[in-house]
Amino acid sequence: MTLRDRIIRLRPPGVPLLFITVGLVTAALTAAPIALILAERRAASETARPDLTDLEEIVPPEPICAAPDLTEIERLTALDSGVSARNWTHIIIHHSGTEAGDYASIDRYHREEKGWSGAGYHFIIGNGTRTGDGELEATARWTAQIIGAHCQASSMNHRSVGICFVGDFEQSSGPSPSQLAAGKKLVRHIVRKFDIPPENILGHGEVPGAQTACPGAHFPLNVLREAAAAER
Ligand SMILES: [Zn+2]
């Protein structure tokens, strides 16, 4: 059956064939440009609508340091409720002298091998072995503001904050960049809080009377002193 035959069959009685044909041709001629316009509009709206990549460019990602360091370091160094801070005048830097470690392992070692009431330091900065690289742990000695068990020489246990970086910086290289970054943040916070001068940040072995290579020949103590100096 041809198209013409179909039109003739579907044609309502009394309507001339020519009339219907002209109508159909007119409809086709009108519909084509409208379809074209709609297709163009759809294409235009699709290019205008930003995809995910564009959005990322328009809305820049949150800067990593958007929250001031202060909030994070204050949370990490918070004291137990009702405990008041001691009048610390020095900061003593140590290394663990071991490849791996964290608060838990040092705490166990100091209790079981040394017979102390717990980890002798106030802070421990991980190296990615047992805690994250640069992860800061405050010990109970800090949160309860108990004197240290990390440096007897020059009575430093009574007046200094003891910070231990996990690693052996006498044998191998120095602390990792993340450990140093965390150490700088912590030192800056403590010197600001207790008004400690940069020269009172000492390596364990620098304390008069101390007989130790701690925190190792590769530990860049000046990096911490410079960070402290920038706070003043
Ligand atoms: Zn030490």
Q: Which CATH class is domain 69-229?
A: alpha beta
* Residue 135: per-residue pLDDT: 97
Alpha carbon of 65 to ligand 1 centroid (Å): 32
Instruction: Supply the DSSP string of 70-139, one letter for each residue.
Output: HHHHHHHTPPPTTPPPP---EEEEEE-SSSS--HHHHHHHHHHTT--SS-S-SEEEEESSSS-EEEEEE-
Alpha carbon of 195 to ligand 1 centroid (Å): 23
What's the pTM value of the predicted model, to 2 decimals?
0.71
The per-residue pLDDT for range 139-155, each reduced to its tens digit, is 999 999 999 999 999 99
Distance CA 215, CA 202 (A): 10
Alpha carbon of 198 to ligand 1 centroid (Å): 19
Alpha carbon of 82 to ligand 1 centroid (Å): 30
Each domain of the chain, given as residue ranges in start order, spans 3-48, 69-229
Alpha carbon of 120 to ligand 1 centroid (Å): 10
The per-residue pLDDT for range 101-143, each reduced to its tens digit, is 999 999 999 999 999 999 999 999 999 999 999 999 999 999 9
CB 144 within 8 A of CB 83: yes
Alpha carbon of 128 to ligand 1 centroid (Å): 20
Nearest to 163 by CA among 132, 193, 142, 192: 142
